[in-house]
């Protein structure tokens, strides 16, 4: 037991160093001007299986928004391609009129047609493939499409956001590498960055008993998806998820830990704005 505590303490210190490194090694966090003035009313999530695992991360975020911002009108869609990188997505087509977001399913399995005023989506949350931003061959593609898609989102009146993914369970060094890559992309494109990968590192350091990835060492467990959702919620809506009753069927104690980790990570990551 003592050995486990020592290992956890070492991992926690390493996680804090990664967080500090994002602001101390020429990697200032993206400008506060990247964030919309108020809580977004519409968000599109563009990614891959990291988003759609566990019945989709965006559904959990919707539940958090419903509880945490009562009365706030919020609409979201998730567009995912298994195994995809940013270059697989035709983002311009996702904003075409009378397409995605035209209608929604509500309680009672009813279809309602949305009256859309302003941008189709106020924020576009985008994720590259889990290795692409740091892959020797694909990292230049990440840089190219981060800019291309950011420009496209802005052309349609939205704000781009990058979802910083997490390290593989057997490759913890990816945490710093991905954090640096996504932070730089955020800087270069004046985009929001959601530090999910840093939240994973912090949680694993504090509570290694809470598994965040499944047997393949990269896709999220139910706990991992919940932590990712809480980190998105804290970043985009600038509200603490701590205390939310919605737990996605996780034990209250586990959900509470993940809520706290998400909030602390976002607060520390954005401290130097």
* pLDDT at 201 > cutoff 50: yes
Long-range contacts of 204-211 (CB under 8 A, 24+ apart): 204/11, 204/15, 205/8, 205/11, 205/12, 205/13, 205/14, 205/15, 206/8, 206/12, 206/257, 206/261, 207/8, 207/257, 208/4, 208/7, 208/8, 208/11, 210/254, 210/257, 210/258
Average pLDDT over residues 207-233: 98
Closest by CA to 268, choosing from 4, 87, 20, is 20
- Whether 96 and 110 have beta carbons less than 8 Å apart is answered as no
Looking at 3.40.50.300, 3.40.190.10, 3.40.50.1110, 3.30.390.50, the CATH number of the domain 2-269 comes to 3.40.50.1110
What pTM value is reported for the model? 0.90
* pLDDT at 68 > cutoff 60: yes
Lowest mean pLDDT among 5-19, 73-87, 143-157, 212-226: 5-19
* pLDDT at 111 > cutoff 80: yes
For residues 261 and 254, give the distance between their C-alpha atoms in angstroms, rounded to a whole number.
11
| Terminal Cα distance for the chain, rounded | 40
- Whether 223 and 244 have beta carbons less than 8 Å apart is answered as no
* pLDDT, tens only, 122-180: 999 999 999 999 999 999 999 999 999 999 999 999 999 999 999 999 999 999 999 99
* pLDDT at 9 > cutoff 70: no
* pLDDT at 223 > cutoff 50: yes
Under the banding of pLDDT at 50, 70 and 90, the label for residue 36 is: low
* pLDDT at 79 > cutoff 50: yes
For residues 208 and 186, give the distance between their C-alpha atoms in angstroms, rounded to a whole number.
29
* pLDDT at 187 > cutoff 80: yes
Collapse the DSSP code of 175 into the 3-class scheme (helix H, G, I; strand E, B; otherwise coil) and give the result: helix
Average pLDDT over residues 112-117: 91
Domain ranges of the chain: 2-269
For residue 22, the model assigns a pLDDT of 54
For residues 8 and 209, give the distance between their C-alpha atoms in angstroms, rounded to a whole number.
10
For residues 270 and 240, give the distance between their C-alpha atoms in angstroms, rounded to a whole number.
14
């Amino acid at each position: 037991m003592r050995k486990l505590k020592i290992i956890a303490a070492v991992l926690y210190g390493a996680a804090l160093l990664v967080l500090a490194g994002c602001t101390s090694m020429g990697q200032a966090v993206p400008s506060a001007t990247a964030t919309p003035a108020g809580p977004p009313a519409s968000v599109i999530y563009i990614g891959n299986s990291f988003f759609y695992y566990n019945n989709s991360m965006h559904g959990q975020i919707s539940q958090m928004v419903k509880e945490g911002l009562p009365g706030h009108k919020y609409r979201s869609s998730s567009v995912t391609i298994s195994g995809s990188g940013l270059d697989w997505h035709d983002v311009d087509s996702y904003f075409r009129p009378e397409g995605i977001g035209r209608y929604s399913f509500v309680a009672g399995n009813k279809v309602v047609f949305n009256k859309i005023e302003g941008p189709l989506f106020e924020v576009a949350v985008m994720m590259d493939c889990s290795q692409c931003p740091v892959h020797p061959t694909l990292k230049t593609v990440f840089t190219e499409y981060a800019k291309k898609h950011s420009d496209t989102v802005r052309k349609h009146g939205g704000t781009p956001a990058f979802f910083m993914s997490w390290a593989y369970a057997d490759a913890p060094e990816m945490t710093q590498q991905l954090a640096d890559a996504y932070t730089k992309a955020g800087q270069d494109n004046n985009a929001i960055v959601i530090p999910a990968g840093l939240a994973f590192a912090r949680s694993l350091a504090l509570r290694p008993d809470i598994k965040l990835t499944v047997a393949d060492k990269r896709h999220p467990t139910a706990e991992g998806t919940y932590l990712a959702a809480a980190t998105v919620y804290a970043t985009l809506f600038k509200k603490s998820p701590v205390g939310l009753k919605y737990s996605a069927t996780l034990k209250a104690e586990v959900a509470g830990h993940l809520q706290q980790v998400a909030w602390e990570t976002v607060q520390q990551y954005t401290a130097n704005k």
